Amino acid sequence: MSRQRRIGFAIARTLAREGAEVTITGRDREKLAAAVDEIHAAAPLGKIRRFLADISTAKGVEALTSQLNQTDILVNNPVGYRKHPKHGRDKLTLRRCSG
């Protein structure tokens, strides 16, 4: 597991242990399922949802946010984030961060 994945996973596990409803994302269905299982083992009463998406892209972020009713805490920790060639960042990310 890469350092970025470990950080995101540790945050999700800790929030689940504290009773937060947690949604985790991933690009690989099997790795995502394994992460959910591991979080459930650490926080058996936690509510953990999974969402298969590439959140390093605007399309992936849009797909995820369209499925969420309310977000209190967002940890956007994509592995392999791609910069927008003109703006240096994805326009959607900039709009969501500043809006």
Q: What is the pLDDT of residues 62-90, one digit of tens each?
A: 888 888 888 788 777 665 545 555 545 55
Question: Measuring CA to CA, how many Å separate 72 from each of 29, 37, 69, 75, 79?
Answer: 25, 23, 10, 10, 22
Q: Which amino acid is present at 27?
A: R
Mean pLDDT of the residues in the chain = 78
pLDDT higher than threshold 50 for residue 60: yes
Q: What is the pLDDT of residues 20-57, one digit of tens each?
A: 999 998 889 999 999 999 999 999 988 999 999 888 78
Q: What are phi and psi of 24, to 5 degrees?
A: -115, 150
| Domain housing 52 | 3-98
User: What's the whole-model pTM score?
Assistant: 0.69
Q: What's the total number of domains in the chain? A: 1
CATH of the domain at 86: 3.40.50.720
Q: How far apart are CA 55 and CA 75, in angstroms?
A: 11
**Residue 78 is encoded by which pair of tokens?**
């994509």
